[in-house]
């Protein structure tokens, strides 16, 4: 769930910074490995970049350590931003063998010719697995799905909101709201369109004019456009807002704390994280082995049990997950029916223009 934007200026700045650093560590942060670090040229050592934190901890327990135990291949993790790896590739010296990032960022990197095309014939776990086509683009492989949902305080509303139309209905569901700022990630135009009556299967291509008109109707009731993933849960927990959009898993944390909070999967926007191999990476054989391992149903299920962002892309994995955990995942059979997948190709093409317009709208 990398929040940074990939732009030409960012890439150029990063390239300059990389030129002044050593090849061993670049600009990334070494987070650890499933075993002791090996020599840089060892084919028994796989360097993987991900976003770190609790996400890395869950990946380590569910994927990296079991993979190392089975194959003898050490997984060393680093925290590089996409722009850093793009700069490394442009210099002809990628310092990671495999990336874990959003399919949207991989869409951008593929356009910059910084990713190897995926040879699906090398992935036994993909064949016949029923992975959705949009999670298998030419230059990446989807691994886990997370979502933005609507959460609300049960003690502040007379009845539970059931849709984004209810979120926009400030008469029947009164109280301050919060929505995501473009500084945090993609502006939530889809929610505005759903509130305005656009069906789930007719969202794309987004009607940007209609979406901003819908956003304008609720703007006076939005107390805060949140710019960090943690903020909406804080606002909800402090009762500063009665409803908010937030990333999946944040509401579960509040509920576990005993807060009077619930959330609604209807109209959830799903995003997929996956694997991408930087162009020129030196250990593609091991990278393919790890990708293949991570898509086994039992491995998918193990990660889903540890992370709220771990919605399996392999349908068979849901049969290995308890009902209480399934209820918290965007790719459970029930939740799949009532949410939608963000169109990475549309957002890659339109993100800059939409973000510029959103900023102008927010500042007006």
Domain boundaries of the chain, sorted by first residue: 8-145+272-328, 146-270+344-363
Fold held by 8-145+272-328: D-Maltodextrin-Binding Protein; domain 2 (3.40.190)
The residues of the chain scoring below 50 in pLDDT are 3-29, 34-41
pLDDT (tens digit per residue) in 222-274: 999 999 999 999 999 999 999 999 998 889 989 999 999 999 999 999 999 99
Select the CATH number that applies to the domain covering 146-270+344-363 from these four: 3.20.20.70, 3.30.450.40, 3.40.50.300, 3.40.190.10.
Answer: 3.40.190.10
pLDDT (tens digit per residue) in 110-134: 999 999 999 999 999 999 999 999 9
Given this model, what pLDDT does residue 34 score?
47
pLDDT (tens digit per residue) in 353-363: 999 999 999 99
Given this model, what pLDDT does residue 248 score?
85
Given this model, what pLDDT does residue 249 score?
86
CATH topology match: 8-145+272-328 vs 146-270+344-363: yes
Given this model, what pLDDT does residue 1 score?
56
Residue 16: count of CB within 10 angstroms of its CB: 10
Q: 293: closest CA among 65, 42, 134, 101?
A: 65
Given this model, what pLDDT does residue 31 score?
57
Q: Three-state SS for 351?
A: helix
């Amino acid at each position: 769930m990398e929040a940074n934007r990939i732009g030409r200026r960012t890439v150029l700045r990063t390239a300059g910074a990389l030129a002044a650093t050593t090849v061993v560590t670049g600009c990334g942060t070494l987070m650890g490995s499933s075993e002791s670090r090996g020599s840089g040229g060892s084919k028994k050592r796989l360097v993987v970049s991900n976003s770190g934190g609790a996400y890395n901890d869950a990946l380590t327990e569910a994927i990296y350590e079991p993979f190392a135990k089975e194959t003898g291949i050490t997984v060393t993790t680093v925290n590089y931003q996409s722009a850093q790896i793009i700069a490394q590739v442009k210099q002809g010296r990628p310092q990671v063998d495999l990336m874990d990032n959003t399919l949207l960022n991989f869409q951008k990197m593929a356009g910059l010719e910084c990713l190897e095309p995926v040879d699906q014939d090398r992935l036994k776990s993909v064949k016949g697995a029923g992975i959705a086509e949009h999670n298998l683009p030419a230059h990446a492989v989807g691994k886990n799905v997370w979502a933005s949902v609507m959460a609300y305080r049960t003690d502040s509303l007379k009845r539970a909101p059931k849709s984004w139309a209810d979120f926009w209905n400030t008469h029947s569901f009164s109280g301050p709201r919060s929505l995501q700022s473009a500084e945090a990630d993609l502006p939530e135009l889809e929610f505005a369109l759903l509130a305005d009556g656009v069906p789930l299967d007719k969202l794309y291509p987004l009607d940007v004019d209609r979406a901003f008109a819908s956003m304008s109707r609720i703007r006076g009731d939005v107390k805060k456009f949140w710019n960090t993933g943690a903020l909406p849960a804080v606002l909800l927990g402090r009762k500063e807002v009665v409803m908010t959009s937030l990333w999946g898993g944040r509401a579960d944390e509040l509920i576990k704390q005993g807060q009077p909070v619930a959330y609604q999967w209807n109209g959830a926007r799903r995003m997929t994280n996956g694997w991408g191999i930087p162009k020129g990476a030196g250990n593609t054989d091991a990278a393919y082995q790890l990708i293949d391992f991570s898509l086994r149903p039992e491995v998918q299920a193990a990660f889903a049990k540890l992370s709220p962002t771990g919605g399996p892309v392999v349908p068979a994995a849901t049969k290995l997950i308890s009902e209480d955990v399934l209820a918290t995942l965007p790719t459970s059979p029930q939740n799949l029916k009532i949410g939608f997948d963000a169109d990475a190709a549309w957002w890659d093409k339109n993100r800059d223009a939409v973000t510029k317009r959103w900023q102008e709208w927010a500042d007006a």
